[in-house]
């Protein structure tokens, strides 16, 4: 059994990640309590080797924003994992479920409700933290079955990424909801199979196929007169590499074309484009006490802020050093880009004349006073910018730049 309790105190200097060109940044102290209880039921099943993991973890998070009460939330997180094997057959199922009991009212990005002074066309990444604190359900699932013989294996797979945003919708162009942010539901679901070949012990190349669907909820006419939405079907042909090319490096990467079929109402220039899909995780063990991890993903996705699809890119680098048995250090950097330029729609809060980027740097130190008690200090800094030049004044490019600092101190006790 895994039982622990964490308490964290944070300072957030820009809760809504506004630019300061219209609305001014709202700082807040944040108190967070994070209990955790987890079980692995596999050892209770007796003398068997088939089921290696059968775990259940409940790890809620209760956050209070002292200077911005509307941002407070109770996040209920449930993680399930089943892994096992029998001879040449192996299987795994991972599911991460979240119910966030937060406000059902989204932020209003406006100076006041008497004149149309909205903080419009903000950076795409500025919406994410406030959105994640609102009332919603999220679910992430991955299923894999694998059968191998000699150097060849076959692996059917399926995955789900699901967002059910439960915030109210309002017409953001009229008082008392000038500048209100409406968020639609969305999901990505796909299934397929990989054919793999072991080119050397511990390293395989794969050829795979996926058929999937992305869904974006359509806003009613009372919210916007624009009838566009970006649901689509897709097929992917993927080549990959997985395993250990060297003893110090673990690699898992996959890439290939994404053949897209958008619905007739999608605001895109081409309803049947060929997109690029890739994701990778590379972990290098530099020394027995130091690791360096690179995460990468690029894919076409539907936006949570409007009606236009975008090409989503993420590059992340994380360094961890166990300086001593008690002291651990972390450094990280991340670059995210949301490129909407393949769209052809100029309406809504995220028009297709948009290419936004966010740079993030982070650092942390953790100290274990005892095997049960540890404390950590962490800091992260986000910089959001607009990548497009010579924009017309109505698109207010200056609102897309923001700065965001988050500092936290956490104490955790394991029972």
pLDDT value for 397: 64
- SS3 category, 301: strand
- 107 pLDDT higher than 90: yes
Q: What is the DSSP string of 141-207?
A: EEEEEEEEETTEEEEEEEEEEEEEE------TTSTT-TTBPP---EEEEEEEEEEEEEEETTEEEEE
- Higher pLDDT among residues 295 and 392, named by residue: 295
**What pLDDT, in 10s, does the model give residues 204-236?**
999 999 999 999 999 999 998 888 899 999 999
- Whole-number pLDDT of residue 295: 97
Residue 173 — very low, low, confident or very high, per pLDDT cuts 50/70/90? confident
| pLDDT tens, residue by residue, 286-296 | 999 999 999 99
Is 363 within 8 Å of 377 (Cβ atoms)? no
pLDDT band for position 390 (cuts 50, 70, 90): confident
Tokens 């997985």 label which residue? 242
Per-residue pLDDT, 89: 95
What is the tens place of the pLDDT at every residue in 138-149?
999 999 999 999
CA pair distance 271, 269, nearest whole angstrom: 7
Residue 61: φ, ψ to 5°: -140, 120
Listed residue (135, 224, 136, 122) closest to 177, CA to CA: 224
- Between the CA of residue 332 and those of 9, 48, 295, 318, 380, what are the distances in Å? 21, 41, 11, 4, 9
Distances (CA, A) of 15 to 30, 99, 169, 192, 245: 10, 21, 21, 41, 43
19-61 pLDDT tens trace:
988 789 999 999 999 999 999 998 888 888 889 999 999 999 9
Between 44 and 65, the higher pLDDT residue? 65
Q: Quote the CA–CA distance of 22 and 387 in Å, as a whole number.
A: 20
**pLDDT digit string (tens) for 306-360?**
789 999 999 999 999 999 999 999 999 999 999 998 888 876 656 788 899 999 9
In whole angstroms, give the CA distance from residue 74 to residue 96.
16
Q: Give the pLDDT score at 389.
A: 79
If you average pLDDT over residues 124-132, what whole number do you get?
95
| More confident site: 152 or 119 | 152
The CATH number that applies at residue 368 is 2.40.160
Higher per-residue confidence, 112 vs 3: 3
Domain of 316?
A: 2-414
pLDDT, tens digit (0-9, with 9 covering 90-100), for 263-285: 998 999 899 999 999 999 999 99
- Dihedral of the CA atoms 188, 193, 198, 199 (nearest 10)? -70
The pLDDT mean for the chain works out to 93
Q: What are phi and psi of 288, to 5 degrees?
A: -55, -20
Q: What are residue 246's phi and psi, to 5 degrees?
A: -135, 160
> Can you give the C-alpha Rg of the chain in angstroms?
23
The confidence score (pLDDT) of residue 45 equals: 83
Residue 394 has pLDDT above 90, yes or no: no
Structure tokens at 355: 């290419």
Which of 130, 23, 20 is CA-nearest to residue 71?
A: 130
In the predicted structure, residue 18 carries a pLDDT above the cut 80:
yes
Q: How many domains does the chain contain in total?
A: 1
The CA distances from residue 32 to 5, 191, 368, in Å, are 11, 37, 20
> What is the predicted pLDDT for the residue at 349?
59
Q: Calculate the CA 388 to chain-centre distance.
A: 24
pLDDT for res 391: 73
Q: What is the pLDDT of residues 239-250, one digit of tens each?
A: 999 999 999 999
Q: What are phi and psi of 275, to 5 degrees?
A: -105, 175
Read off the pTM: 0.94
pLDDT score, position 281? 98
Q: E strand or H helix at 356, and its extent?
A: strand 355-368
pLDDT at 305: 85
The pLDDT score that the predictor gives to residue 44 is 86
């Amino acid at each position: 059994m895994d039982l622990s309790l964490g308490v964290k105190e944070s300072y957030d200097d820009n809760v809504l990640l506004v630019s300061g060109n219209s609305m001014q940044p709202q700082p807040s102290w944040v108190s967070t309590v994070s209990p955790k209880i987890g079980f692995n039921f596999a050892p209770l099943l007796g003398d068997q080797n088939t089921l290696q993991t059968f775990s259940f973890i409940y790890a809620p998070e209760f956050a209070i924003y002292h200077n911005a009460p509307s941002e407070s939330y109770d996040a209920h997180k449930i993680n399930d994992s089943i892994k096992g094997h029998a001879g040449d057959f192996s299987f795994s199922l991972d599911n991460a479920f979240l119910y966030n009991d937060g406000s059902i009212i989204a932020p209003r990005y406006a100076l006041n409700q008497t004149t149309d002074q909205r903080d419009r066309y903000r950076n795409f990444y500025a919406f994410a933290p406030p959105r994640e604190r609102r009332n919603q359900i999220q679910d992430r699932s991955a299923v894999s079955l694998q059968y191998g013989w000699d150097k060849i294996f076959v692996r059917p797979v399926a995955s789900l990424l699901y967002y059910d945003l439960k915030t109210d919708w309002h017409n953001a162009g009229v008082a008392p909801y000038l500048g209100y942010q409406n968020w639609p539901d969305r999901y990505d679901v796909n299934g397929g199979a990989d054919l793999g070949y072991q080119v050397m012990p511990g390293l395989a190349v794969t050829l795979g196929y996926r058929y999937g669907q992305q869904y974006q909820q359509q806003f009613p006419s009372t919210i916007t007169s624009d009838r566009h939405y970006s649901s689509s079907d897709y097929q992917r042909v993927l080549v990959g590499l997985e395993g250990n090319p060297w003893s110090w490096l673990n690699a898992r990467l996959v890439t290939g074309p994404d053949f897209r079929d958008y619905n007739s109402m999608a605001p895109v220039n081409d309803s049947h484009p060929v997109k690029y899909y890739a994701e990778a995780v590379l972990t290098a063990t530099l020394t027995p006490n130091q690791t360096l991890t690179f995460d990468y993903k690029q894919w076409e996705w539907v936006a949570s802020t409007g009606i236009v699809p975008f090409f989503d890119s993420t590059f992340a680098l994380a360094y961890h050093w166990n300086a001593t048995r008690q002291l651990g250090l972390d450094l990280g950097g991340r670059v995210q880009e949301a490129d909407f330029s393949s769209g052809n729609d100029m309406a809504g809060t995220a028009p297709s004349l948009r290419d936004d980027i966010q740079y993030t740097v982070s650092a942390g130190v953790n100290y274990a006073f005892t095997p049960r008690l540890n404390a950590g200090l962490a800091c992260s800094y986000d910089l959001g910018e607009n990548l497009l030049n010579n924009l017309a004044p109505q698109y207010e490019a200056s609102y897309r730049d923001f700065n965001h600092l988050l500092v936290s101190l956490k104490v955790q006790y394991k029972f």
